[in-house]
A = this chain, B = another copy of it.
Amino acid sequence: LTSVEPAHFADELRALKHRVTAMGRVAEERVQLALQAVVNRDREVLKQVIDGDDRLNRAQVEIDDHCFRLLALFQPVAVDLRAVVSALRINTDLERVGDLAVNLAEAGQRYLLHAPVKRLVDLPRMGDLALTMLREALDAFVSRDTAAAYNVLAQDDWLDALNNQIVRELLTYMLGSSRVVEPSVDLILMARHLERIGDHATNIAEDVIFIVEARDIRHRSGLPPGPERRRQSTVAPV
C-alpha cells in the first residue's frame, strides 16, 4: 500500500468511476444474455451465464481494493468521501446483479424442461426496463446528474407494476391447467429477479443523490418524487 505513488485524487476517482461503469456493462450484458437465451430456448448460453461469473467477481474485489486504497491514502472528506463510500456500495449492488443473472439462467434452465407457457413478451420488456434503469443510474453516478437519478426512482414504480401484471396473468394460467404450474413458477421467479435488478438500480440512484446533495433520501418524507423507497414485494393481492 505505501509503495503506491499517490496520484492526484481526481484522477484516481475518475479511474474508479471507469472501473465501476465497466463492471456495470458486464453485469448488464450477462442479464441480457440470460434473458435472450430463455426466449431463444438456448440451453448452451444459459450454461455459459451460469459458469461465467468470474469476471464480475474479480471486478468486485478490484474495486473494493481500489476504494480502500483511496480511503487510506487520501483520507477524503465531504463529497469525496461520499463518492468513494458510494462506489463501495454500488460495487455490492453490481455484484448482486451478476448473481441475479445466474439466478435468471438457473430458473431459465428449469423453465426449458417444459413446453412453453406462452410467448415471452412481457419478461423481456421487464428486462429492458430494469437494464435501462441500471444504465441510467450508472451514467448519473459518473456525471453526478441528480435529475437523471430521480428519473430512475420514478421508473421503479413502472417496473413493479409490470411485475404485478405478469404474476397475475401467470396465476390465471396456473389455475386453468396444472401442466403449466412448474414453468409458471419459474417465470414468476424470473420476474422477481428482474424486479430486484430494478431495486439495485434504485439503490445506485439514491447513492448519486446522496453524493451530490449530502442527504439521505431513502427514508425521509416530503422529498420529490418518491419519498419512501421501500422495496415492493412481488405480487399484488389477487
Interface residues of A (CB under 8 A from B): 53-54, 57-58, 60-61, 64, 68, 71-72, 75, 77-78, 81-82, 85, 88-89, 92, 96, 99, 102-103, 106-107, 109-110, 113, 167, 171, 174-176, 178, 181-182, 185-186, 188-189, 192, 216, 218-220, 230-231, 233-235, 237-238
Identify the closest chain B residue to A236 (Cβ).
Answer: B110
Given A174-B178, A218-B60: A231 in contact with B189 (beta carbons within 8 A): no
Chain copies in the assembly? 2
User: CA of A71 to CA of B76 in the docked complex: distance in angstroms?
Assistant: 9
* Chain B residues whose CB sits within 8 angstroms of the CB of A54 once the complex forms: 219
Distance between A185 CB and nearest chain B CB, rounded to angstroms:
6
Q: Which of A60, A110, A219 has the most CB of B within 10 A?
A: A219
User: CA of A232 to CA of B111 in the docked complex: distance in angstroms?
Assistant: 16
Contact B61 A218 (CB under 8 A): yes
